[in-house]
Structure 1
Amino acid sequence: MRILVVEDDADVGDALLRRLRRDGHAVDWQRDGQHADEVLRYQRYELVVLDIGLPRRDGFSVLRALRARNDRTPVLMLTARSQIEDRVGALDVGADDYLSKPFDVREFDARCRALLRRSQGIASGVTRIGNLVFDRAAKTARLDDVLLDLPRREYRLLEIFIGNLGRTLSKDDIASQLFDFDDEASPNAIELYVGRLRRKLGDSLTIRTMRSLGYVAEATPTDE
């Protein structure tokens, strides 16, 4: 998934960037509200982690502008303010959730997972497709109860396909969720990752190539 972190504190921003990238997400980091607003006007994200106290333009203003454009991207608001008014204000402006600093990174991870599931219309952290079990909390995929060896990019690619079953995804759609601004996302790289994932999944999940369009993942029909 592609995530935008908007945080002016260098230590906090770097820690969140490393944490999310370690989990395989494509992550971009902006350090002030004005630049964040500009990026959000042209780049689509699955989640925005947004600090309230930002230079040039505060988090409330960035969020108001986002919602005014009818952009429903999930937003997790971070605040160093403990007053109930600030927390209520964040939710009223359009935040989907909030965390007060300092926070436990395990709670941060859990809240991010919940918002990402919500954005895909997935209620549970575990998805079962035939003999394939995909567990977002454990960050694992099992086939016939055998753990699949999936490097982080292949794991995230599988997550993208599972979150978009039956929907045709172009290579650009996939690249925008799999890579961040610092990565080179060539069409050949997408083909390579898809090929590797297909070999590991076998017949458990069908990933069809749609000529000139991209790929579509479908549950493999089972014999009655």
Structure 2
Amino acid sequence: MTSRERLLATGRGGEVDRKPVIHWPHWEPGSDLRYFNHETLPEHMEEGEHDVALVEITNPFGLALQQEIDLNKILKDDPKAGNRVLGELVDEAKRDIDQAFEVGADGILYRLYGARARHCTPMQYGGFYLERDRELLEGVKDALFNAIFVVGEEDVYLDFVSDLPAHAFGWDFKETQIPASEVRKMRAGALLSEDPESDILLDSGTAFLSRVLESSLRTEESYAV
């Protein structure tokens, strides 16, 4: 099987010759998935014809972190202004998603920030942000392959986001120590993590993935190749 065939079959519950492996946040040869940002995807289209190519997307809460916007405070102090700002961030994420498909992406790798105690209470995330994430993902559910990665350590709210639409659902197994067997109780479909029992094996090398992804927002670094 090609990497493309292997990953698409796994995302749809089909039989494969082996489990797909994804090297992320630093791509390496042998990865069954290629991931990019909007600028780098077009120049790699021909060389990766046998691979699934995704564009990394930062969710609205992550965009707020990146822009140093304290959304929770604004929403508390002035709900009308807060919802306006949140709506603008949702629109920005939607533009990023639309651009991903315009440049030829097979789907998106949706980096979901905010669903953790470090940033939100369960009521804040569930009340303000969950349905915005759902709205964005529902809008692209017919793409060839989409993956979610929930950024968070032991404070993550996996149960809150477990029903969001995507072909693969990922989380930080090394930091959360939540096994695939537990996540399967929350969600059907392909699972993506460092847990060997996952359907798609994530190889993050020596990186503490959630820390890297949060740090990349603050430093405006891109780990996409």
Shorter-chain TM range is: under 0.3
TM-score, reference length from structure 1: 0.28
Which protein, 1 or 2, shows the higher relative CO under an 8 Å CA cutoff with sep ≥ 6? Answer: 2
The structure number with the bigger radius of gyration is 1
TM-score, reference length from structure 2: 0.28
